[in-house]
Amino acid sequence: MTLAAMLAFGPLAFAKRKANNGSDGLSADKTGQLSTSAGLRLHLIADEGDVHISTHESATVDYRVHVEVRSNGSSAREILDAFSLVARNTPDGVLLFARTPHHGWEQHLSVTFEVAVPRNYNLDISTQGGNVLVGDIQGRVSIGTNGGNISTGEIGGPARLVTDGGHISVKNAGNDLVATTGGGNITVGPVTGTAVLRTGGGHIRVASIGGAGKLETGGGNISLEHSGSGLIVSTGGGQIDVGEASGLIRARTGGGGIRIVRASGPTELETGAGNVYLMQVENSVRASTGSGGITAWFGPGAKLTTPCRLAAGEGDIVVYLPKLLPVTVDAQVELGGDHRVIVDPAFPLKVTYGEPDEGSHAVRAVGELNGGGATLVLRTVSGNIRLVLNDSNQEKHQMDLLKQQMDKLRRQLEMDLSNMKIPIPPPPPQN
């Protein structure tokens, strides 16, 4: 390792060149190579600048820092000279530390870091303003930027990605993932571990989560193809689409619809105004909507061990029940009038009507099916309630719909992931 690689660099070698806007400007490149070992860490700290991380098989960290002054005034050289870079080995890896001492000069600078590290390496990257691109890497990853986008390939270790406002995309996460943005979209491929994904207002799209998942957005849509454990989903007003979910589901939206293709665990859903659609329910469910409708298909393998409740303010409720499901039904329309409780002849329920002269307009259907079981409570203020037999024809129709919805989710996610092209440059040249 050279002495220059151990100490802070002074004024960088510079060359006059045409800037991107066509005017004369100054630029400088600094390259270097530091010996290291697999399993250590790159710690990169910068006032600003885009960061490109690639991997190679060498036991070295190779870097190239390109600095360009977007000015042809008398201060151009002073600004360039003021940029300082430290590149040195540390007990746990390699440090790259870049600073522009004079406040306000950052707006005249364009900085790009191109760094190649061993494939089995850890990353700790912080830039005050720039995009961060990372190729496939096996180690732990921590990235923070005050406003740029973050894009990565496959990440082998736990990852924490934070940006104040850009988009986040991850091709594949082989461990736990935390991704937070102030307002951009989050697009993620398969996550092996747990996932905590938050955005102030963008969309969240995820292929699958092996562990527990928590997805939150201030107002965008959320889609997830597969969840292997507990799932909490929340949006201020967007649509929620979930394919298959094995554990507990809690989903809430301020105004969009909620669609669950297959729910094998307990399910709790709430929307302020949208429709709720549950295509294959195998466990207890509680769902409510302010002004939309609710449709729920209980599959032949459904086991209801605790009470279910479906409630709508103004919309219809349609429930498909298998013939042999033991359940106690309590269905009521509060404002009957033109609205009814419509019961399939296969279900021996008693339907009663309130007395208008006594101030009651309710229509109610109650009864025990197959000896009774957990209570299925259905409530709507001014919609209809329909109880339909889920026979073989209906089941085939349901499975066709389920396949269509799963294929639709899969195609959309595949399209999103295929657009995640990570433009990682080749490793920087060695000195």
Average pLDDT over residues 129-142: 95
119, 42 contact by CB (below 8 A): no
User: Is residue 131 scored above 60 in pLDDT?
Assistant: yes
pLDDT classification of 419: cutoffs 50, 70, 90: low
Place of tokens 């510079």: 14
User: Is residue 238 scored above 80 in pLDDT?
Assistant: yes
Query: Which pair of structure tokens corresponds to residue 362?
Result: 């309710």
pLDDT of residue 335: 87
pLDDT of residue 420: 56
User: Is residue 264 scored above 60 in pLDDT?
Assistant: yes
More confident residue, 395 or 38: 38
Query: Which pair of structure tokens corresponds to residue 406?
Result: 């799963």
pLDDT classification of 397: cutoffs 50, 70, 90: low
Average pLDDT over residues 276-294: 94
375, 369 contact by CB (below 8 A): no
Torsions phi, psi for 396 (to 5 deg) = -65, -45
Q: pLDDT tens-digit profile of 40-70?
A: 999 999 988 999 999 999 999 999 999 988 7
Full 3-state SS string of 121-154: CEEEEEECCCCEEECCECCCEEEEECCCCEEEEE
Q: Which of 266, 388, 386, 375 is nearest to 326 (CA)?
A: 375
For residue 303, what are the contacts with CB-CB under 8 A and spacing of at least 6?
282, 283
Question: Other CB atoms closer than 10 Å to residue 396's CB: what's the count?
Answer: 10
Pinpoint the alpha helices (H) of 267-386. Answer: none
User: Is residue 424 scored above 60 in pLDDT?
Assistant: no
d(CA 378, CA 329): 8
pLDDT of residue 101: 62
d(CA 167, CA 205): 12
More confident residue, 288 or 355: 288
User: Exposed, middle or buried, 94 (CB in 10 Å: 0-12/13-18/19+)?
Assistant: buried
The structure's pTM equals 0.88
d(CA 247, CA 228): 7
Q: How many residues appear in the chain?
A: 431
53, 107 contact by CB (below 8 A): no
Average pLDDT over residues 180-192: 95
Average pLDDT over the chain, rounded to whole? 86
pLDDT of residue 210: 96
For residue 75, what are the contacts with CB-CB under 8 A and spacing of at least 6?
108
More confident residue, 10 or 100: 100
Kindly state the DSSP code that residue 90 receives in the 8-state scheme: E
Query: Which pair of structure tokens corresponds to residue 390?
Result: 């889920």
Query: Which pair of structure tokens corresponds to residue 69?
Result: 């002054």
pLDDT classification of 76: cutoffs 50, 70, 90: confident
Question: Other CB atoms closer than 10 Å to residue 346's CB: what's the count?
Answer: 13
d(CA 331, CA 355): 17
User: Is residue 12 scored above 70 in pLDDT?
Assistant: no
pLDDT of residue 24: 54
Percentage of the chain surpassing pLDDT 70?
Answer: 83
* Distance in Å from the first CA to the final CA of the chain: 11
